[in-house]
Structure 1
Amino acid sequence: MLTLPSEYAEAVLDIVERIPPGRVMTYGMIAEILRDHLGRGSARTVGTVMSRYGGGVPWHRVVASNGRLPPGHETEAHARLLSEAVPFRGEHVVVAVARWWPEDNTPA
């Protein structure tokens, strides 16, 4: 039986869909927005949502707070982010340069 995403999962995916090419958000940044608007959320929960439902959104634009790429998908994410001119230091995204925050700070 197919499990449909919850309201929280839908909100995560809406935010990730809005991240522009060449920019990234961290799991924690997404969780912060959702805590402000839904009253709950954690970086770990965002990661779980991304692993279950993130295939249809630009998943490669969501990274750990230290710039580490999505576990198990490092090679593909690295290639995609390089093609978008995202800056790297070694194998990690330079989050301070590439981070993006929605102007209206709300889930879609």
Structure 2
Amino acid sequence: MTALLFTCAMLTAIAGCACLALSQERHWKAVSGTAPHARRTLRVAGWAQLGLSLASCILCDGASFAALLWPLLVMLAALVMAAVLTWRPRLLHPLARLLSPKAG
């Protein structure tokens, strides 16, 4: 159960950082080639996923260790997104199409 919650926390942190990055016009254009249609929705989805990541960390290890674990997971997720957006932005194209069917 702990491994499942930790995996959920990591994946939701990565997805949250991806949504927050795609809410910026520059990153959305790099991924899909068009202007973003739902920037506010992407931001809300990103913050909601980061909140779910925090909740998973708390359920996994308790509040005291989650206070240490969650910021580390968010930093790792941000590093992953920075690397993906730098070297392979088209890897996020399926996510962009899922979030906005108008994405090319």
Give me the TM-score of the superposition, normalised by structure 2. Answer: 0.30
The higher radius of gyration belongs to 2
Structure (1/2) with the larger helix percentage: 2
Give the number of the structure whose residues are more often strand, by fraction: 1
Q: TM-score, normalised by structure 1?
A: 0.29
